[in-house]
Chains A and B, each alone.
Chain A
Amino acid sequence: MTTTSTRKPRSTLRPADRIFAGSTVIAGSLILAALAAVAVFLIAESIPALIVDPAELKGAPSSFWAYVGPLAFGTVWAAFLALVMALPISIGIALFISHFAPRRIAQGLGYIIDLLAAVPSVVFGLWGIKVLAPAVTPLYGWLVQNLGFLPFFAGGVSGTGRTILTVAIVLAVMIIPIITAVTREVFLQTPRLHEEAALALGATRWEMIQMAVIPFGRPGMISAAMLGLGRALGETMVVAMVLSPALVINFVLTGSQNPSTIAGNIALNFPEANGVDVNALIATGMILFVITLVINSIARIVINRRKAFSGAN
């Protein structure tokens, strides 16, 4: 006993330790350097578009902000719609896996959900064009006919189903795996004692979930939603392929004229852009960079503030 307690820990590092420590530091700083390089690139390349006479930009908008405004709106709007659809479903799946499903089914379902996250977005895009859009067109017709008094379904109905609602549905399918995976892990961390205490007090299983699981998991659910939102904001291929875009700001879900998103707009217009139009597209990319940065920062703040409970520390 005495010998072990008096022995000093080794202070000299072996070369292997140094090399390993050094390489992890390099790896860690590399990602920061890459992020900084992207930021510098975006800012430097954006400046020409910001100072040029807006009449020289494509479509001659009144200012650069008039050009990026509808795109920024469409980006946030599509991601928000996707989140509204995906969040309840994801939480439902997560609760089913963590608290309702038999163990074997829960495991299998978990794998399938994770598998969904691995499907490339271009495949989702093809599915959106080929399957979803034609399938929802009659439904949109019905919505416009019967709920046309709501601003969401005002005006003419799209004849092809390539609306922002269709895009949002595809985006929702894409972010469900992320939100489900995170919330499932949070729900599984609910202290067993809380759950058993609730059940012992006579709560039904639903009441137990309301009293013990949901309050415990709320910060985790919020951060999961933010992460899903982050992915939806930056999604490019699905929007470029499925959406029928226009430079407009409106809340109509079923019309032909839909606000495009920043990422989708870049993908569509970059191949043929030249001169200052390239700078304009990069400048919109910078706006997207800022939007995603803000969203991710909020997510991080939420996680940090509640990390004592969320298990995310």
Chain B
Amino acid sequence: MNSVLSRYKRLASIGAIAVAGTILLSSCAANEAGTTDPSAAASDLAGTIDGSGASSQGSAQEAWVAAFQTENPDVTINYDPSGSGAGREAFISGGVSFAGTDSALKQDEIDGGFAACVPDTGYIQVPAYISPIAVIFNVEGVDALNLDAPTIAGIFKGTITTWNDPAIAALNADATLPSAPITAVHRSDDSGTTKNFTDYLNKVAPEIWDAPAADPFPYQVGEAAQGTSGVVDAVTNGTNTIGYADASKAGDLGVAAIKVGDEFVDYSPEAAAAVVAGSPAGDTASDTDLVISLDRKTTDPTHYPLVLVSYIITCTEFVDAEVAPVVKAYVQYITSDAGQSEAASSAGAAPLSTDLSAKVATALESIK
């Protein structure tokens, strides 16, 4: 009795510490770099660089780091997927040599300067990771589904509640839609996927989706699940469900075609790359800042506007000149064909278009 009872009592108080400890540790657990392969081809590059930022790039960064370190055995790259906001803050304060972010730098952030860069030498901001977002569904007897932005907005906002709602039926004349209630699944954790999904709905169907784009899901309706895999799992195991997730994780689930212009466009990496290539430059754009203002309202049926674009931010001239060649080579690798196809195979990203890739390469040449 004594030993058992006191053991559990002690466990309870240890538990409190363990919870706090887990919180602390979980923030830095993912930045452990892969081991280098000493037998790989030698290169002149050496040194350690740190990056942090968007967790959307996390799995792609892992693959990039592993591949780059295999090529360059003396290089160590750490990427901490601590979130876009935290990554930008860390870069601004000089804590990291490069940052990944789902949201481009704001003007006041640029005006404030960057501690890691030589003052007044500018910065680099290039798209590195394009991830299409798929609207996935699991509805009995329905294999293909056509949806437009107002309908998707209605479904996820809870104003369209059954599958045979006239709004859905009007878009799917051929499908036999059940009269079952819709279970819409969104992310329960903060996510760049949610931000881009809600940005699309807010831009294309603002009369229904009146909440601005944000990492947390804005409305208190529908179901929530943790992470992309959680949403996919909930949609798969539930009945008459719909959700949104990185397209690469959709698996065998049905993926809705999105109305663009007058046609319904199925997700494809090419269509996702096309909308990025076809979108105008953003407000802060320059030769070294290739920010894109995504054209969510595109009417070109070769475009798939529901995509997430994640950037790499770094310096043109570093205060610590030793990191410059490593950062340059690494970002060049990321945005190269090899790096992009690595991200496509490991994280399901859509590759940068040839045109954009060339512009990025030019911008990266200015790193000294």
Contacts and interface: CB of A to CB of B under 8 A. Distances in A.
The reply to whether chain A is a binding partner of chain B is yes
Contacts of B222: 256
B143 interface: no
B233 interface: yes
B238 A185 contact: no
Contact of B189 (A220, A227, A269, A303): A269
A190 to B, nearest CB: 11
B41 interface: no
Most chain A beta-carbon contacts within 10 A, residue among B2, B26, B188: B188
Interface stretch (A4-12, A18-26, A197-205, A272-280): A272-280
Interface in A135-162: 137, 156, 158-162
Interface in A179-223: 181-182, 185-186, 189, 220, 223
Most chain B beta-carbon contacts within 10 A, residue among A181, A182, A256, A275: A256
A133 B225 contact: no
A266 B188 CA distance: 11
Nearest to A246: B220
A296 B183 contact: no
A108 B125 CA distance: 63
B233 A273 contact: no
B234 A312 contact: no
A288 B18 CA distance: 13
B17 A38 contact: yes
B257 to A, nearest CB: 22
Given A35-B17, A58-B216, A185-B4, A227 B226 contact: no
A158 B237 contact: no
B83 interface: yes
Nearest to A156: B181
B169 interface: no
B237 A129 contact: yes
Given A35-B13, A227-B9, A41 B20 contact: yes
User: By DSSP majority rule, is chain A's interface helix, strand, loop, or mixed?
Assistant: helix
Contacts of A282: 23
B16 A292 contact: yes
Contact of A185 (B1, B86, B183, B191): B1
Contacts, number: 164
Contacts of A299: 9
Contacts of B241: 159-160
A46 interface: no
A42 B23 CA distance: 12
Most chain B beta-carbon contacts within 10 A, residue among A31, A178, A185, A274: A274
A143 to B, nearest CB: 16
A270 B20 CA distance: 12
A285 B19 contact: yes
A282 B19 CA distance: 11
B89 interface: yes
A241 interface: yes
B78 to A, nearest CB: 17
A75 to B, nearest CB: 12
B26 A271 contact: yes
B151 interface: no
Interface residues of B, number: 53
Nearest to A281: B23
B15 interface: yes
B190 interface: yes
Contact of A271 (B8, B189, B223, B240): B189
Contacts of A292: 12, 15-16
A271 B17 CA distance: 19
Interface string B81-108: 1111110010000000000000000000
B185 interface: yes
A125 B86 CA distance: 29
A257 B15 CA distance: 28
B23 A266 contact: yes
A231 interface: yes
Interface string B216-242: 100011111110001001110111110
Given A234-B16, A234-B19, A292-B12, A244 B224 contact: yes
B154 to A, nearest CB: 16
A220 B2 CA distance: 11
Nearest to B14: A31
A42 B230 contact: no
A158 B23 contact: no
B17 A34 contact: yes
A59 B216 contact: yes
Nearest to A300: B9
B2 A38 contact: no
Contacts of A186: 1
A130 B237 CA distance: 8
B4 A181 contact: yes
Most chain A beta-carbon contacts within 10 A, residue among B22, B89, B190, B221: B190
B223 A158 contact: yes
Given A244-B223, A244-B225, A162 B189 contact: no
Contact of A182 (B8, B27, B220, B239): B8
Given A160-B234, A186-B1, A247-B220, A236 B19 contact: yes
B173 interface: no
Interface in B164-216: 181-183, 185, 188-191, 215-216
Interface string A250-284: 00000011001001001011111111000000100
Contacts of B8: 178, 181-182, 227
Contacts of B85: 272, 274-275
A31 B13 contact: yes
14 contacts: A42-B20, A134-B238, A159-B223, A159-B240, A223-B5, A234-B15, A244-B234, A257-B221, A272-B86, A272-B189, A273-B190, A275-B85, A311-B2, A312-B5
Interface of B: 1-2, 4-5, 8-9, 11-17, 19-20, 22-23, 26-27, 55, 81-86, 89, 181-183, 185, 188-191, 215-216, 220-226, 230, 233-235, 237-241
Given A159-B181, A161-B237, A275-B85, 18 more contacts: A42-B20, A158-B183, A160-B235, A160-B238, A185-B1, A185-B5, A230-B15, A240-B188, A244-B225, A256-B223, A269-B190, A272-B84, A274-B82, A274-B85, A274-B89, A299-B9, A300-B9, A312-B2
